[in-house]
Amino acid sequence: MTVRILQVGMGVRGRQWAEVIRTESCAVNVGYMRPELDIARRQVIEWGEPDTPVFDDLETAIRTLQPDAVLLVTPPDGHHDQASLAFKYGCHVLCEKPLTEDLDESIDLVRQADEAGKLLMVGMNFRYLGVSQKIRQMLHERALGEPGFGHFVYLRNRDGRRPDLNKFPLTMRQPMLLEQSVHHLDLMRYCYDDEVVAVQADTWNPSWSTYADDSCVSALLEFRSGLRANYLGTWTSGWNRFCFEWRTDCSGGVLIQKQQFEELYQAKMNPESALTGELFKTGPEIEPLQPVAVETTRAFYDDTRGLLREFAAAVEGRAPLVTSGKDHLKTLGLVLACAEAARQGRRLLMADFYRQQGIPDEWL
């Protein structure tokens, strides 16, 4: 079966989605929708799909095409209304992250999907990077012993005024958390295969930020297993060099991802070495950092392909949906708990936060 998709949104991310679907046999774009019809017409020609119909009204597009699924690649503040319309017409929904900006709207969409008996997937594509899959596998297999703590650092100077960047984050609430950290917090949940039980966090906006709201996030996450993770993410760095590091310290060594989409290393701990030699080891006696082979993935494309295949398999009933709306409630819940912990200036227990937000226990 080929899943017939109506793609809504043809911006920065929409262009990537269109290429992925064009080159995948499990799905086909039967139409596109965006409010600016003249631009849409030009785009389908440019993308080599001149015969694919374009629309400037979502309801008309759904009624005309009767797609199996609606793919939402639009700014997050429109996701709730657009997904609701898709469910009303009996379509599955694949929605870009964040599912919505407020948890009550996401809860409502998960409920609508359940009631309609349709699938709701959220675009957490970075789970499908080769490096993410490898981290998840190695930690699951306890290749370096028991994970104890991690730190995740993402320092980027993302000037939101650049012409090739989307513009809605410039004015939205908590742009770093909702647009970027959502991926990082989701990756930690997914790769650690663990859930956060408590959060401390702060968010702020440096004086030279191009964003109206906070572009820096610092969080300390406490996982069910006892693992702690320190997160620092910014779009307003003081240096244009992009710095990424995700390190997890385990009882038998460390696992370090050094680049955003690749470069994984491990060092195996030699406990004897802690008892002898230099007190602050920096020289040749330290355990060597060895590269870990990971499947090479073209970021934003091959990972999205993985996501699309998961979706198509679920539509066909061949496999359950993992990256579902219900699962996303825990990632989005974590994102919004960080904002709330920062606002209140205190540690929040996730169980209390979920309850206050009205997420049913059986969904967690």
Residues forming contacts to ligand NAD in the complex (CB under 6 A) are: 8-14, 33-36, 73-76, 78, 96-97, 123, 125, 166, 168, 179, 300
Q: How far is the CB of 10 from ligand NAD (least distance, A)?
A: 4
Separation between Cα atoms, residue 234 and residue 246, nearest integer Å: 14
Alpha-carbon distance 314 to 337, whole Å? 30
- Give min distance, CB of 179 to ligand NAD, in A: 5
Q: Which CB atom, from 14 or from 150, has the smaller least distance to ligand NAD?
A: 14
Q: Quote the CA–CA distance of 132 and 135 in Å, as a whole number.
A: 5
Q: How far apart are CA 184 and CA 241, in angstroms?
A: 19
Structural contact between residues 363 and 326, judged by C-beta atoms closer than 8 angstroms: yes
Nearer CB in complex with ligand NAD: 179/310: 179
Q: Which is nearer to ligand NAD, 33 or 107 (CB)?
A: 33
Nearer to ligand NAD, 92 or 97 (CB): 97
* Cα 188-190-193 angle, rounded to 5 deg: 95
Instruction: Say if CB 12 and CB 166 are below 8 A apart.
Output: yes
CB 50 within 8 A of CB 44: yes
Residues 6+ apart with CB under 8 A from 92: 3, 68, 69, 70, 86, 118, 119, 120, 121, 311, 315
Q: Which is nearer to ligand NAD, 125 or 323 (CB)?
A: 125
Could you give the residue ranges of the DSSP H alpha helices within the chain?
Answer: 12-22, 37-46, 58-65, 79-88, 103-116, 130-140, 175, 182-192, 302-315, 325-344, 350-357
The three-state secondary structure class of 303 is helix
Question: Please, which residue, 88 or 140, has the CB nearer to ligand NAD?
Answer: 88
Ordered DSSP codes for 142-191: TTTS-EEEEEEEEE-B--TT-TTS-SGGGTSSSHIIIIIIHHHHHHHHHH
Q: How far is the CB of 107 from ligand NAD (least distance, A)?
A: 18
To the nearest whole angstrom, how small is the minimum distance from the Cβ of residue 337 to ligand NAD?
A: 19
> What's the CA angle centered on 114, arms 108 and 119, to 5 degrees?
100
Distance CA 186, CA 98 (A): 11
Comparing CB distances to ligand NAD, the nearer of 8 and 308 is 8
